[in-house]
């Protein structure tokens, strides 16, 4: 049976000054199963955001195709929830308003009471109860990212696309939100594709880790299965010797091997 998400022969090239072509990546192929949490890691500029934008339907590839649930991705859809590195909340709307707006777009026939109840459930899920009426300017960075996550989950997308959602947060806040995301994903079995620079974050959250070589002409160099059980927790996962094996493999890739895949 075909996988839930299929990416075939993806290539992205831009015209560079002087008429040359900058090939960001070429011949990227991968599959993601329903309920899987995949992290993608690679050095800056290798094309991670470009791939995520293609999956979101925000960018067209130069070649190749992406299919979700058997249908080709042509443009943005409420099938896919996206969380960007910097929050993309509407500044004039409250927390409730930002999430409610998405919910109303998804289910235009719902009554106000239905929308409010649904929104509240997702506000509670990210522990933002009490901040429903605040505007983004009144929230901390971590709280804003939580609203973005609640909004993305609230439309119950087939797939969640996360572009370094915690990159701008301090370590403590980041740890707390990672724990929340892990709990939510363990509960919902949401399919997730997430970009991160943080090896420990990838080990904590993912079932599978995609390693991208350095650009230009980056390739999907390795796919690593996470051997740690899915009920892992931040506080204890480093007691498992497999944690260090995996961590060393990922770091060794980033430091030593990511350069060696460049094509002629
Ligand atoms: N519209 C565009 N026109 C020209 N070049 C582009 C365009 N969009 C992206 N690029 C180039 O494509 C490459 C990949 O960019 P992308 O943002 O996907 O990288 P990334 O892996 O997400 O990097 P980072 O980790 O820094 O976020 C970069 O060299 C970038 O300059
Ligand atoms: Mg990026």
Distance 163 CA to ligand 2 centre (A): 7
CB 149 within 8 A of CB 176: no
At 264, is the pLDDT very low, low, confident or very high (cuts 50, 70, 90)?
very low
Index of the ligand 1 atom closest to the CA of residue 43 = 25
Q: In terms of domains, do 98 and 226 share one? A: no
Residue with CA closest to ligand 1 atom 25: 44
Q: In terms of domains, do 191 and 89 share one? A: no
Mean pLDDT on 71-85: 91
Asked, for residue 241, whether it belongs to a domain, the answer is yes
Q: In terms of domains, do 62 and 12 share one? A: yes
Asked, for residue 208, whether it belongs to a domain, the answer is yes
Please give the Cα distance from 61 to 72 (Å, whole number).
Answer: 13
Token digits of residue 53: 């934008």
Other C-beta atoms lying within 10 Å of the C-beta of residue 262: 13
Mean pLDDT on 126-153: 93
Distance 210 CA to ligand 2 centre (A): 15
Q: In terms of domains, do 93 and 69 share one? A: no
Q: In terms of domains, do 129 and 101 share one? A: yes
Q: In terms of domains, do 71 and 95 share one? A: no
Q: What mean pLDDT value characterizes the chain? A: 93
Residue with CA closest to ligand 1 atom 3: 14
Please give the Cα distance from 218 to 201 (Å, whole number).
Answer: 23
Residue with CA closest to ligand 1 atom 31: 45
The ligand that comes nearest to the alpha carbon of residue 24 is: 1
DSSP string of 203-247? Answer: HHH-SEEEEEPPSSSB-EEEEEE--S-TT--TTTGGGSHHHHHHH
Q: In terms of domains, do 251 and 225 share one? A: yes
Taking each helix axis as running N to C, give the angle between helix 171-188 and helix 141-154, from 0 to 180 degrees, rounded to the nearest 10.
Answer: 10
Domain carrying residue 105: 84-140
Q: In terms of domains, do 192 and 66 share one? A: yes
Asked, for residue 146, whether it belongs to a domain, the answer is no
Q: Which one of 92, 108, 140 terminates a domain?
A: 140
Pocket of ligand 1 (CB under 6 A): 14, 24, 42, 44-50, 215
Residue with CA closest to ligand 1 atom 14: 47
Distance 46 CA to ligand 2 centre (A): 8
Q: Which residues pair with 65 in a beta bridge?
A: 8
Most informative mutation of 48, 61, 62, 196 for ligand 1 (most atoms within 8 A of CB): 48
Residue with CA closest to ligand 1 atom 29: 45
102-127 pLDDT, tens per residue? 999 999 999 999 999 999 999 998 88
Task: Assess whether pLDDT exceeds 90 at residue 170.
Answer: no
- Kind of pairing between the strands at 208-212 and 220-225: antiparallel
Asked, for residue 229, whether it belongs to a domain, the answer is yes
Task: Assess whether pLDDT exceeds 80 at residue 54.
Answer: yes
185-229 pLDDT, tens per residue? 988 899 999 999 999 999 999 999 999 999 899 999 999 999 999
Asked, for residue 264, whether it belongs to a domain, the answer is no
Q: In terms of domains, do 135 and 221 share one? A: no
What confidence score (pLDDT) does residue 262 get?
59
Q: In terms of domains, do 187 and 233 share one? A: yes
- CA nearest neighbour of 25 among 38, 37, 43: 43
- Indicate the pTM of the whole model: 0.93
CATH number at residue 192: 3.40.50.300
Asked, for residue 131, whether it belongs to a domain, the answer is yes
What confidence score (pLDDT) does residue 123 get?
94
Distance 14 CA to ligand 1 centre (A): 10
**Peptide bond connecting 216 to the previous residue in cis, omega within 30 degrees of 0:** yes
Index of the ligand 1 atom closest to the CA of residue 22 = 5
Higher per-residue pLDDT: 86 or 112: 112
Q: In terms of domains, do 205 and 163 share one? A: yes
Please give the Cα distance from 29 to 11 (Å, whole number).
Answer: 10
Q: In terms of domains, do 115 and 30 share one? A: no
Residue with CA closest to ligand 1 atom 8: 50
Asked, for residue 150, whether it belongs to a domain, the answer is no
Asked, for residue 250, whether it belongs to a domain, the answer is yes
DSSP letter, residue 17: G
- Considering its fold, how many domains does the chain have in total? 2
């Amino acid at each position: 049976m075909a996988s839930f998400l299929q990416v075939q022969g993806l290539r992205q090239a831009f015209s560079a000054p002087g008429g040359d072509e900058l090939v960001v990546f070429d011949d990227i192929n991968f599959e993601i199963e329903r309920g899987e949490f995949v992290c993608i890691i690679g050095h800056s500029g290798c094309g991670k955001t470009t791939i995520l934008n293609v999956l979101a339907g925000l960018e067209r590839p130069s070649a190749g195709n992406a299919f979700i649930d058997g249908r080709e991705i042509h443009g943005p859809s409420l099938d896919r929830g996206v969380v960007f590195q910097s929050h993309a909340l509407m500044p004039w709307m409250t927390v409730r308003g930002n999430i409610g707006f998405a919910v109303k777009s998804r289910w235009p026939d719902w009554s106000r009471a239905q929308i409010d109840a649904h929104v509240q459930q997702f506000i509670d899920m990210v522990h933002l109860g009490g901040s429903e009426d605040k505007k983004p300017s009144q929230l901390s960075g971590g709280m804003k990212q939580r609203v973005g996550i609640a909004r993305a989950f609230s439309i119950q997308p087939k797939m969640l696309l996360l572009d370094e959602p915690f990159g701008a947060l301090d370590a403590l806040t980041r740890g707390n939100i990672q724990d929340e995301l892990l709990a939510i994903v363990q509960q919902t079995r949401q399919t997730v594709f997430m970009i991160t620079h943080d090896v420990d974050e990838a080990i904590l959250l993912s079932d599978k880790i995609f390693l991208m070589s350095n650009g230009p002409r980056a390739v999907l160099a390795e796919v690593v299965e996470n051997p740690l059980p899915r009920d892992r927790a931040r506080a204890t996962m480093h007691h498992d010797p497999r944690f260090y094996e995996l961590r060393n493999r990922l770091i060794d890739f980033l430091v030593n091997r990511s350069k060696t895949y460049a094509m002629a």
